[in-house]
């Protein structure tokens, strides 16, 4: 009996060690993905009036060097150049594009589209991924942004995308009405 218990104990130590090893490996893998990619949650989004703006678009990246690089690519409309991972673009408070590594969303070169519900309480993610549909137009984000593939799917004006039914003044008004911004 004693022998049997010792055997079970040895086995369980062995199993325990192996699971520690597996857990350790798993942790390393998760950690290395997290180091290269951006983890997006509802807290990622906030009042866009605090973000730098180029023409109509608000741009964010938590790394100041990468933010500078993203702003340069956008401002100069540089073709065939990828935005740095972690870049967030918003034209309207309730829609966003977030840049992941290319392999994460191969169809969009790494961009993830977001449809957001915004209120004074904050941001709720309504839909995300590379198949998000703009509900008011009934059109997938990608179908309009696809023609701008040479500009890393950034439409702006003049990159070949079908226009949205909002002029610059209306876009500015919608940004100014972002309910997440504290009222002065």
Q: Which residues bind ligand HEC (CB under 6 A)?
A: 56-57, 89-91, 95-97, 113-115, 132, 134, 137, 139, 141, 144-145, 154-157, 161-164
Least distance from C-beta 61 to ligand HEC, angstroms?
Answer: 14
Of residues 45 and 113, the one with the C-beta less far from ligand HEC: 113
Residue 46 sits at φ, ψ, to 5 deg, of: -155, -170
How many angstroms separate the CA atoms of 153 and 74, rounded?
A: 11
Q: Minimum CB separation from ligand HEC for residue 166, in Å? A: 8
Q: Three-state SS for 136?
A: coil
- 111, 99 Cβ separation under 8 angstroms: yes
The residue among 75, 56, 41 whose CA lies nearest residue 174 is 56
Query: In terms of DSSP bridges, do strands 57-60 and 53-54 run parallel, antiparallel, or are they unpaired?
Result: antiparallel
Residue closer to ligand HEC, measured from CB, 145 or 180? 145
Closer residue to ligand HEC (CB): 21 or 137 = 137
Cβ-based nearer residue to ligand HEC, 124 or 157? 157
CA-derived radius of gyration, the chain: 22
The CB-of-33 to ligand HEC minimum distance in angstroms stands at 23
Could you tell me where the DSSP H helices lie in the chain?
A: 2-36, 64-75, 141-145, 168-176
Q: How far apart are CA 74 and CA 26, in angstroms?
A: 37
Q: How far is the CB of 161 from ligand HEC (least distance, A)?
A: 4
Nearest-approach distance from CB 109 to ligand HEC, in angstroms:
13
Closer of 9 and 168 to ligand HEC (Cβ): 168
């Amino acid at each position: 009996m004693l022998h049997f218990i010792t055997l079970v104990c040895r086995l369980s130590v062995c199993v325990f060690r192996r699971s520690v090893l597996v857990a350790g490996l798993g942790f390393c893998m998760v950690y290395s993905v997290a180091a290269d990619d951006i983890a997006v949650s509802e807290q990622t989004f906030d009042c866009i009036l605090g973000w730098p703006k180029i023409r109509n678009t608000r741009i964010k990246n938590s790394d100041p060097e990468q933010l500078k690089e993203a702003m340069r690519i956008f401002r100069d409309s540089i073709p065939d150049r990828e935005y740095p991972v972690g870049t967030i673009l918003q034209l309207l408070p309730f829609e966003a594009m977030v840049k992941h590594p290319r392999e994460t969303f191969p169809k969009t070169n790494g961009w993830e589209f977001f449809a957001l519900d915004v209120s004074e309480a904050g941001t709720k993610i309504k839909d995300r991924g590379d198949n998000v549909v703009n509900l008011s137009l009934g059109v997938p984000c990608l179908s309009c942004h696809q023609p701008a593939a040479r500009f890393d799917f950034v439409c702006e004006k003049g990159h070949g995308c079908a226009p949205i039914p909002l002029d610059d003044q209306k876009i500015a008004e919608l940004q100014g009405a972002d309910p997440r911004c504290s009222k002065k």
